[in-house]
Amino acid sequence: MPSTEPGLRSIVAVCLLTTVLLAGCREEPVEEVAAPGDGTVTISGDDAIVATLNWTPPAVTIAEDDEDAVAEAVDRAREALQADDLYATADSAIPLYLALAQRPDTERVARRGLQRAQARLLALGTQALAEADAQDSIAGLRAAHDYAAVARYLAPGDEAVLRYLEGVDASDRLWELNRNGELALQAGELGETGGGALAAFRAAATLREDHPRALQGMAAVESALIRRAELATDEADYRGATRWLAHAAKIRPGFPTVADAEQRLQRRRDAHIRRLRDEGVAALPQIRGPDIARERLARIIDIAEPGDPVANDLRQRIDQAVHYGDFRPGQVFTDALEGGARGPQMVVLPHGGFMMGALPGDEDANDNEKPRHGVRFERGFAIGVREVSVGEFRRFVDATGFQSRAVRRGFSMAYDERTGNFLRRSNVDWRSDYVGRPAGDTMPVLHVSAKDAQAYVEWLSAQSGQRYRLPSEAEFEYAFRNGSSERYPWGEGTPPEGAGNMTGALDRSPGGRRWGNAFPDYGDGYWGPAPVGTFSPNTWGVHDLAGNVSEWMADCWHENYRRAPTDGSAWVNPGCRNQVIRGGSWASSPAQTRASWRALAQVDTTNARLGFRVVREL
């Protein structure tokens, strides 16, 4: 007769210690918890069951001397077994067979019945476990526990019973893991960095591969992480959102859920970045616009990936607005004037810095070219592509009736071929060429004073609505050097062919004169100025800075650069009588063609070597 004492092996002890066990047949309330995102998990209100596998057989009474009663009990036991009524009542198969096993005359049939009942018990228990695992059925698990209690009572040491008890323990463990995972999920303990809901669901999935409840739980964790990413996106915390999605991507590799979420996040990030860029661009023309745009740029950089093209675009727009207004470096343009005419052609020079003044060791340098000092332009500016031409100056005179200095006094200094010198000649003014003949409209305007040039830029400003002026010394030298730090635009020595209209040893005057101090082995084909823009521009697109005609600057004359401005502005003293001229001319010596060369001239000076060009502020 089987022992009724609890003599299970260690596996039974483990089963008894399981915290999530089924208790009786009482139905417990169930709470449906919506998991964040697209998944839900079901958490039972109280899934605990009594920690026992004990079973007490119902009392069965069989009259000892009543053979009919005994036979009837045997028949009832057989019928109950056939009906799978195994243990619940006194009329169930196992209680009847246990009672019959106590009688010598029915012990044998009772033993066989108990064996069949035990086999059926284990079969039904195994079926209940399968139902519990496959359908996540608490009723199935409770039934399995009931079968386990009866089986343990019948044969605690039987191998089949022990294997079944191990299965019950595994199902208990599975239920416990899922239950713990669901509770952790409900508490927001997702376990993205270890522990929590994810660890519990993963352990359950390891215990029962492809277990629906565990897989559903992992999907719910994934959805919760995606939801956290979405909430982070709502707060513009895209880096945080990316971290949440990175955790989510590790849960179910290969599933499209996270990839779809990443695409949604990226679309929102891109839209946010574009909106910030548009706000920054729209603000640029406003007061404090660059400050507003920089704030938008900072926000873009905070949420965008490194090297984001939209961030780079806004950065360039801010830089352009700050340093160039509506223009860009290298842009060539003309301004519309009243009456439909156009102003001089201008080119935008880049903002930046350079070292101004004579180079160390330059033997041709004068003290007035020193000390060498740094100058930086925080904003770009536009300079005339060419010197102001006779035709451009004529438009000004025709529009205003302006009388230049040479017109008023009736003479200027012109070149005399007979003597090879510059002599005063009557009736020579801005309409005249270098020898006093009528000048073509494409020739650089000569015989203009600093005051004449100033009158022209003031008229040009009024006509265009923009601020035109004469260049500062620093602006001229900056344009002359165009990023180099040499004495000449080409470096050192003889100029390359076509470099400009300068004194060359190969040049000849109409009367056969040659220069006594010239660049050896160089000739440009001109004796006197060439039409503006005849020779190639420098790398910044500006013509004739080293030659053709020298040019008036806005600066008053100072004997050296001590205390000179370092921001590129003109150094002006109100009412000064002497202004700076810069740039070599068609009749300048090589030393006067250097980038740092400078000279003074009285503001009323006019001659055949001196003209001007304009600068426009951006």
pLDDT of the residue at 3: 33
Q: Is residue 340 part of a domain?
A: no
Q: Is residue 188 part of a domain?
A: no
Name the nearest CA neighbour of 445 among 493, 389, 487.
Answer: 389
Report field, pTM of the whole predicted structure over 0.75: no
Q: Are residues 159 and 295 in the same domain?
A: no
> What residue type is assigned to position 560 of the chain?
N
Q: Are residues 508 and 609 in the same domain?
A: yes
Q: Residue 9 — very low, low, confident or very high, per pLDDT cuts 50/70/90?
A: very low
Q: Are residues 109 and 36 in the same domain?
A: yes
Residue 404 has pLDDT above 90, yes or no: yes
Give the N- to C-terminal CA distance of the chain in Å, as an integer: 110
Mean pLDDT (the chain) is: 90
pLDDT of the residue at 32: 38
Q: Is residue 230 part of a domain?
A: no
Query: What tokens does 40 get?
Result: 């839900």
Q: Are residues 465 and 608 in the same domain?
A: yes
Q: Are residues 382 and 498 in the same domain?
A: yes
Q: Are residues 575 and 458 in the same domain?
A: yes
Q: Residue 100 — very low, low, confident or very high, per pLDDT cuts 50/70/90?
A: very high
Domain range holding 158?
Answer: 10-169
Residue 20 has pLDDT above 90, yes or no: no
483: domain CATH number is: 3.90.1580.10
- Which region among 46-55, 115-124, 305-314 has the lowest average model confidence (pLDDT)? 46-55
Give the residue-averaged pLDDT of 145-149: 94
- Residue after which a domain boundary falls, among 118, 141, 169: 169
Q: Is residue 28 part of a domain?
A: yes
Q: Is residue 361 part of a domain?
A: yes
Q: Are residues 40 and 129 in the same domain?
A: yes
From the number of C-beta atoms within 10 Å of its C-beta (0-12, 13-18, 19+), residue 401 rates as: exposed
Backbone angles phi, psi at 15, to 5 degrees: -60, -40
Q: How many structural domains comprise the chain?
A: 3
- Residue after which a domain boundary falls, among 169, 197, 230: 169
Residues 6+ apart with CB under 8 A from 586: 434, 501, 502, 503, 526, 527, 528, 529, 530, 547, 548, 549, 609
Residue 582 has pLDDT above 70, yes or no: yes
Cα separations (Å) of 172 from 7, 163, 183?
A: 20, 14, 16
Taking a C-beta distance cutoff of 8 angstroms, is the pair 550, 413 a contact? no
Q: Are residues 85 and 121 in the same domain?
A: yes
- Residue after which a domain boundary falls, among 154, 169, 184: 169
Taking a C-beta distance cutoff of 8 angstroms, is the pair 385, 347 a contact? yes
Q: Are residues 350 and 314 in the same domain?
A: no
Give the residue-averaged pLDDT of 557-572: 97
pLDDT of the residue at 477: 98
Give the residue-averaged pLDDT of 512-529: 96
Q: Is residue 26 part of a domain?
A: yes
Taking a C-beta distance cutoff of 8 angstroms, is the pair 570, 553 a contact? yes
pLDDT in tens, 193-229: 899 999 999 999 898 888 889 999 999 999 999 999 9
Residue 103 has pLDDT above 60, yes or no: yes
Q: Are residues 386 and 505 in the same domain?
A: yes
CA distance 313 to 297: 10
Residue 95 has pLDDT above 60, yes or no: yes
Q: Is residue 86 part of a domain?
A: yes
Q: Are residues 278 and 381 in the same domain?
A: no
Q: Are residues 304 and 156 in the same domain?
A: no
Q: Is residue 404 part of a domain?
A: no
